[in-house]
Structure 1
Amino acid sequence: MSTSGFDSYIADNQFRKRNPLSKDSETYHTEKEKRRLKRSEGKPRRFTSLDFHYDKDTQTCYCPAGNEMWRSGTHLKSNHKHYTRFTGYLRDCQACPLQAQCMRKPPTDRGRQVQFINDESRKKLNYGDKMKIKIDSPVGRRQYGKRLGCIEPVFGNITTNKGMNRLTLRGQTKVNAQWQMYCLVHNIEKLREAMH
């Protein structure tokens, strides 16, 4: 895709979350919370790493309840990112009034664990990161905004009405042929509707 020469945009479900207009929008956050409550059947939102107070310089971390956590190590994951992990003291987590928001089950052998990425400044951009930068640019936002009227109806018709929710052939040539057949049927239907 990156070497094809096409001005491509790949769908990104975090697009609205990163939109500066959404940050100050009361409606966006209210509706988002309503959807979350419906999905979680009214359960409170669980804490993420963003809710923990991490100081990169002193390498200390405090949980949302204000308890200090101990550094349980630095790890290099398969994606070549360095993580610093902190673990809550078991006695603090067992007696914590925010336990339901922090852990799925009451702790028995260890407290809540949380990790933070280090060396972000030296992180190499992957294709996903480059796509996010492209979408977040003023031109990218304009182009990506056209998706709702141009692209979604086509995919909606082909996947829902035509029942094509997966490709059944293998190999790029065969997949292209199968996709083009569905697109051809979609276009013939549009022409027929335009003639009536």
Structure 2
Amino acid sequence: MANYKPDLSCQNKFIPINFAKQILPGTFECALCYIVENKLDLTRFEAWYYNDKISAAAYPATVMFKVILHGYTYGFIRSRRIAIACETNILFMNVTRDIQPHYTSIA
């Protein structure tokens, strides 16, 4: 009987990821991050979450806005699916700066 090496394609790997190098210039993700971070005025959202270190920390408005727009672009209209993508998809991880918002926060 032949002795083959085992198939390890279903196992998780611990690999170092540099999120800054995952999004290439000229892609939709790069444009989305640039527009949301540099061109949009999100001060109204930031003023709403003025918690002064008393209550729980909130997700940044830029991250939530980017994750919702990015999810809708790829046809993810359910908050649970967007939350799963933030945990498993490298592009979503980069757009959200590896912050994994809960699906109730996305909804």
TM-score, length-normalised on structure 1? 0.18
Task: Give the greater-gyration-radius structure (CA).
Answer: 1
What's the TM-score, normalizing by structure 2? 0.28
Return the structure number with greater strand share: 1
Higher relative contact order structure (alpha carbons within 8 Å, sequence separation ≥ 6): 2
